Amino acid sequence: MLNCKQASQLASRAMDEKLSFRESAALKVHLFLCRNCTNFTQQLNFLREASRRSRFNRNFKLTEKAKLRIASTLC
């Protein structure tokens, strides 16, 4: 049986790559039995969604004014 620490590592890795059949099965069993780790996978999904959208959030972008200013110094 996986403990939560191991399950969390698999859950995180599963965001980026395909787990082996054994890993994937072990994770599924653990998630079926563990509310905490199920919540953690929801948090992972939320974090991914937030990260994807952050790129388009104005806090994460140069302002148009700054772009113009930079562009003008480059020509």
Partner 1 sequence: MTPKNNDLNTQTWLEEYGDYLFCYAMLKVKDNHLSEDLVQETFLAAIMAANSFSSQSSIRTWLTGILKHKISDHFRRQKREVMIDDLVDQTEKDGLDIFFKANGGWINKPDAFPNPEAALQQHEFWKIFQQCLARLKPKQAEVFLAKEIYGMSNADICKDFTLSSTNVWVLMHRARLSLINCLKINWKD
Whose Cβ is closer to partner 1: residue 9's or residue 28's? Answer: 9
State yes or no: residue 46 binds partner 1 (CB under 8 A).
yes
14 by Cβ neighbours in 10 Å (0-12 / 13-18 / 19+) ranks as: middle
Question: Is 39 near partner 1 (CB under 8 A)?
Answer: yes
Work out how close the CB of 25 gets to partner 1 at its nearest, in angstroms, rounded to a whole number: 19
Maximum Cα interatomic distance, the chain, rounded to a whole number of Å: 62
One character per residue 4-23, x = contact with partner 1 (rule: CB under 8 A): xxx-xx--xx-xxx------
Q: How many residues does the chain have?
A: 75
Min dist. Cβ of residue 53 to partner 1 (A) = 6
Cα separations (Å) of 32 from 7, 12, 40, 41, 43?
A: 12, 17, 13, 12, 16
Least separation in angstroms between residue 26's CB and partner 1 is 13
